[in-house]
Structure 1
Amino acid sequence: MKAWLVEDWCTPEQMRWADLPLPEPGPGQVRVKVAAAALNFLDTLMMAGRYQERPPLPFTPGVELSGVVDAVGTGVELAVGAGVCGLVSYGAFAEYACVDAADLYPAPDGIDLETAAALPVVYGTAHHALVARGRMQAGETLLVLAAAGGVGLATVQLGRALGLTVLAAAGGAEKCALASQNGAAQAFDYTVPDWAEQVKAATQGRGVDAVFDPVGGDYSAAALRLLAVGGRLLVVGFAAGAIPQIPANRLLLRDLSAVGVVWGPWRRRHRAAAAAQMASLFDLWRAGAIAPLVSQRRPLAEAPAAIADLGSRRTTGKVLLIPGASV
């Protein structure tokens, strides 16, 4: 099979397009013929050796996929031919991948398999952030940073479905318009110096009940100042590159919380709860309350260019890599 290989910590263009043996599923695993692999910002970190989980070298990157079960190991109930989507620790940027059966979910009826690859990570993260960690209630106000990215748009859509008033912040008028089209009540361009003051004014000076923050850096400091008394800063990631230092005195004086959101490890510790979470998200998809925006479908062979675009924030929504597609 064809697959991308990281032989040493590297940039996307330093990966190698390799011919590898077809993998064989072990106990509790299935082999998936990949229909699509979805890109995530963590892919850029993992191949550079800067993610919290560092696979043994060499490895094939990619953590999110969809496809058809091609072979099964012992102790697996999934049938050959079943359409699935889900997660791998790594290995999705290939024509075939071996996956623990517990990390896969039956693709919902009516969704094409390629689109199904865009569901698990972003909507799972959004649900975990808003429901389990943020404990948000209908009628509260949520500010989503980087709202035009994959996880940002998923959070905007899910927040609206949960009955929240969703405010969005994104870089540039085009991205703000995209967030508005996906359910944000108002969108703010954070390339404008006074964007935070605009958000505060939109809440009549009260502030927001929670901020979904996958960006970090100076944006986290601004977000903290935008929280209403009792608000929650949902710390999802650091796409800006800088890990913010959160002043404890501000948390104390305004009864605030800074809450870490890390969906992947939670999902592995709570398999049944994660399966129920995904079933709930699939129900919302069937009802039309959420719908992944796939902005690009590119051949698997174009992975380096696609990952570089994602890392430099030149993409919106989700980007999919399609094995077998023509370059």
Structure 2
Amino acid sequence: MQAWRVHRNGEPGEVMRLEETDRPAPGEGQVLLRVRAANINFPDALLCRGQYQVRPPLPFTPGVEICGETPDGRRVLATAALPHGGFAEYALADAAALLPAPEPLGDAEAAALNIGYQTGWFGLHRRARLRAGETLLVHAAAGGVGSAAVQLGKAAGAIVIGVVSGPQKASTAAGLGCDLVVDRRTDDIVAAVKEFTGGRGADVVYDPVGGDAYAKSAKCVAFEGRIVVVGFASGVVPTPALNHALVKNYSILGLHWGLYRTQDPAAVRACHDELGRLVAQGAIEPLVSERVGLSGAADAVQRVADGASTGRIAVLPTGAER
């Protein structure tokens, strides 16, 4: 089969190589999946760079989020079992963690319903306890993780402010339903949020960026607000001033969705059921901005790493438009 493999750490466009290799053999509790679609996530770039919290042995195949087909013909969602990731014709996954792919969604959209939307749902509902009528601030609102949070926030009845970079991403965020779009390149985020909320600030902040985005969030979070720390796409891990959290009465909440898969798998399945209900209602629909064949995966991962994409980019190993 064909698979992208990483033999040394570095930038995705430099270290990913498309090779002919044997199909991986499932270990105990694993299943071999034919990959129907694999969505590109920022952690795929971090894996290539050797900067992710999980470091699979070299060589490995990146691609953590897939829609695949089981040997008995079921269409399922899975988090690939590294080192045999989804940027290949076949991948491995934990058989017990497979989730049924919602029928209304195509393969690319179904794959995108897994990590980003699970992360968004747990962040907004399990951690931040978002309530209808509250104001939600989403950083990187046009990206894969951010676009999911925007849709989930709107579905929950929140007023959503989306922070983006550049006019194209501003247009994407507006199309997702943001009530206010702030371009961090040209706008003062803190001033815009305070003006929009009448000086109160955002009740919940969803931050997959870190760095300066976190610093701005702390300046415009509301009394008893909640900042959900999802990731550090900026490459800068902030160091919160706890005295500031004390005097403003806000909470800093960490979210590592992967822990729920081991600590509370029943909650992951319940979340998937809820996401399926929202899909059926038309309340959410994963934003897949581009589909590429397997040969285009390395270039696409590099664009995600560089912050030059919106929504999700789907890799289709057969080259089919699904």
Name the structure 2 match of 1:107. 101
Q: Cα deviations across residues 104-129 of structure 1 (Å, max 9, x unaligned)?
A: 21111232223211110110010010
Residue 39 of structure 1 aligns to which amino acid in structure 2? I
Q: Cα deviations across residues 139-163 of structure 1 (Å, max 9, x unaligned)?
A: 1111000000011111000000011
Name the structure 2 match of 1:214. 208
Query: Quick one: distance in 1 between partners of 2:81 and 2:27?
Result: 15
Deviates more, 1:60-69 or 1:193-202: 193-202
Residue 205 of structure 1 aligns to which amino acid in structure 2? G
**2:203 is paired with a residue of what secondary structure?**
strand
CA contact (8 A) 2:260 2:267 kept: no
Residue 116 of structure 1 aligns to which amino acid in structure 2? A
Deviates more, 1:168-177 or 1:196-205: 168-177
Query: Quick one: distance in 2 between partners of 1:197 and 1:267?
Result: 39
Name the structure 1 match of 2:37. 36
- How far off its partner does 1:318 sit? 0.5
Q: Cα deviations across residues 238-273 of structure 1 (Å, max 9, x unaligned)?
A: 111111111111100011111111111222221111
- How far off its partner does 1:134 sit? 0.7
1:168 aligns with 2:162: yes
Residue 44 of structure 1 aligns to which amino acid in structure 2? A
Name the structure 2 match of 1:263. 257
1:81 aligns with 2:73: yes
Residue 10 of structure 1 aligns to which amino acid in structure 2? G
Query: Quick one: distance in 2 between partners of 1:81 and 1:212?
Result: 37
Query: Quick one: distance in 1 between partners of 2:109 and 2:131?
Result: 29
CA contact (8 A) 1:88 1:103 kept: no
**1:267 is paired with a residue of what secondary structure?**
helix
CA contact (8 A) 1:216 1:237 kept: yes
CA contact (8 A) 1:39 1:321 kept: yes
Deviates more, 1:2-11 or 1:22-31: 22-31
**2:70 is paired with a residue of what secondary structure?**
strand
1:140 aligns with 2:134: yes
Name the structure 1 match of 2:220. 226
List runs of 5+ in structure 2 lacking aligned partners: none
Residue 65 of structure 1 aligns to which amino acid in structure 2? I
- How far off its partner does 1:228 sit? 0.8
5 Å-filtered alignment, 1:236-315, equals 236-315=230-309
**2:252 is paired with a residue of what secondary structure?**
strand
1:8 aligns with 2:2: no
Q: How large is the RMSD of aligned CA atoms in angstroms?
A: 1.2
Calculate percent identity across the aligned residue pairs. 44
- How far off its partner does 1:7 sit? 1.1
Residue 3 of structure 2 aligns to which amino acid in structure 1? A
- How far off its partner does 1:193 sit? 4.6
Number of residue-to-residue matches in the alignment = 317
Residue 4 of structure 1 aligns to which amino acid in structure 2? W
TM-score normalized by the length of structure 1: 0.94
Name the structure 2 match of 1:190. 184
- How far off its partner does 1:26 sit? 2.9
Query: Quick one: distance in 1 between partners of 2:106 and 2:316?
Result: 13
Deviates more, 1:206-215 or 1:267-276: 267-276
Residue 95 of structure 1 aligns to which amino acid in structure 2? E
Query: Quick one: distance in 2 between partners of 1:231 and 1:278?
Result: 27
CA contact (8 A) 1:102 1:271 kept: no
Would you identify which runs of 4 or more consecutive aligned residues in structure 1 move more than 3 Å? none
CA contact (8 A) 2:142 2:169 kept: yes
CA contact (8 A) 2:200 2:222 kept: yes
CA contact (8 A) 2:289 2:312 kept: yes
**1:117 is paired with a residue of what secondary structure?**
helix
Query: Quick one: distance in 2 between partners of 1:150 and 1:114?
Result: 13
- How far off its partner does 1:69 sit? 0.6
List runs of 5+ in structure 1 lacking aligned partners: 71-79
Deviates more, 1:186-195 or 1:296-305: 186-195
**2:140 is paired with a residue of what secondary structure?**
coil
